[in-house]
Structure 1
Amino acid sequence: ITFSIDGKDLSFRYQDQWDVLLEKMGFDSEESTQNQPLIAPMPGLVLSVEVKPGDVVQNGQALVKLEAMKMENLLKAQTDNQVVAKVHVSQGENVEKNKVLIEFQSN
């Protein structure tokens, strides 16, 4: 919700418990994710890395497949035209929650 008072815009956003949980897991679609690193949302085993440095990725493109709690999780790009700067993980590697998996170049 955005209000304008005396020429100043004030924005407020309501978040229920599910919004907060999704945001903590990295699924906050309202905030800009351009050039933010891909971070492991949970501990797990890297099953595959789908990109390499220099690749230009598009929104929804698969980046890393992570096995956690006996489930395969496909971690995807959140915005268009991101350039992969550095890949910090490789297939078969165990990762902890919040580990940086992939970094993107700044625009």
Structure 2
Amino acid sequence: MFKILRNVIVAFTSGSKGGTGKSTLSVLTTILLSAVLDGKKILLIDFGEHGNSTRMILKHPEPPFLTDFLKGNIKAIGRYRLKIGRIESKFFMIPNLGKIQKLSNIEIMLKKISRIFDYII
């Protein structure tokens, strides 16, 4: 039997190389985890400077965005519901649409929200 872990952070990276599937893997992991682990709080954070994960999910993204979250605005975390066929996913997301100027606050903010979410992608 598999053990369900709590407070897990999953990151897909490939340096600064584009087109390697980071956004696609992040979005699919979020959708699948939220569909399979009903009742668990799943958060997707789009760290990509082009906002590819955001654009895959949201047709017309509106603020607040990741930059607002990094300034301490917890309200930048939005709640979303996505239905594909009979599969329904409910998850949270911090969208992004531009280059992130300052990441110095990220560790503090991740510590704050890691108490709230079961999985952060």
> What band does the TM-score fall into relative to the shorter chain?
under 0.3
More strand by share: 1
Q: TM-score, normalised by structure 1?
A: 0.26
- Select the structure of larger CA radius of gyration: 1
- Report the structure, 1 or 2, having the larger helix content: 2
What is the TM-score of this pair, normalised by structure 2?
0.24
Q: Which has the higher contact order (CA 8 A, sep 6+)?
A: 2
